Amino acid sequence: MDTHTYPVTRTDAEWRAKLTPEQYAVMRGHGTERPGSCALLYEKRAGTFTCVGCDQPLFEAKLKFESGTGWPSFNDPVEGSVETTVDRSYGMVRTECHCARCGSHLGHVFEDGPPPTGLRYCINGVALNFQPA
C-alpha cells in the first residue's frame, strides 16, 4: 500500500466527483485507456500538458513525439513534476509514472525513446489536459 502523502489530496468521493469514470479508472485505479482513443494523441500545437487531477504542468509539447504506440509519448517531464515507482502488475516489471503533486497514475516510462534522453514517457491521454501556448 502506498503511504506517500502528496501536496494535493482528496477523498475517494472527491476524486470520483472530479474525474470521469474513465479518468478515475486510469488515474486512481492504475488502469490504461484504449490505445488511439484520446484526442491528445494528435495534439501538435505548442503548449503544456497538465495533470487532470491537480493542474500541475507535466510535459512540454515540444518534447512530445509519435511513438506509434497509440498513447501520447514524451522524452522528459517538466522537472520535479513526475515521480516513478516499480510496477510489478500483470507478471511484468515496469516503471510507473505518477504526478508528483497529487499521486495520480499517468502511465509508464520505457528506455526505448529517441535521443537525447532515450526515454519514452507513455502517458494515458485521459490523465492530461492541454494548455496551448
Residue 25 lies in a domain: no
What are the residues facing 121 on neighbouring strands?
A: 74, 109
Query: Can you say whether the dihedral through the CA atoms of 34, 129, 116, 80 is positive or negative?
Result: negative
| pLDDT value, residue 103 | 96
Residue count (the chain): 133
Give residue for cell 472527491. 14
Question: Considering the domain boundaries, does residue 5 fall inside one?
Answer: no
Is 47 contained in some domain? yes
Domain-located, residue 21: no
Assigned domain for 48 exists: yes
73 within some domain: yes
- 54 is annotated as an active-site residue: no
Catalytic residue among 38, 51, 97, 122: 122
Predicted local confidence at residue 2, as pLDDT: 56
55: CATH: 2.170.150.20
Other beta carbons less than 10 A from residue 56's beta carbon: 21
Q: Is 87 helix (H, G, I), strand (E, B) or coil?
A: strand
How many domains does the chain contain in total?
1
pLDDT tens, per residue, the chain with 133 residues: 457 789 999 999 999 999 999 999 999 999 999 999 998 999 999 999 999 999 999 999 999 999 999 999 999 999 999 999 988 887 888 899 999 999 999 999 999 999 989 999 999 999 999 999 9
Residue 83 is assigned to a structural domain of this protein? yes
Which domain range does residue 53 map to?
34-132
What is residue 90's predicted lDDT score, i.e. its pLDDT?
A: 78
Helix (H, G, I), strand (E, B) or coil at 117: coil
Residue 15 forms part of a structural domain: no
Residue 1 confidence (pLDDT): 46
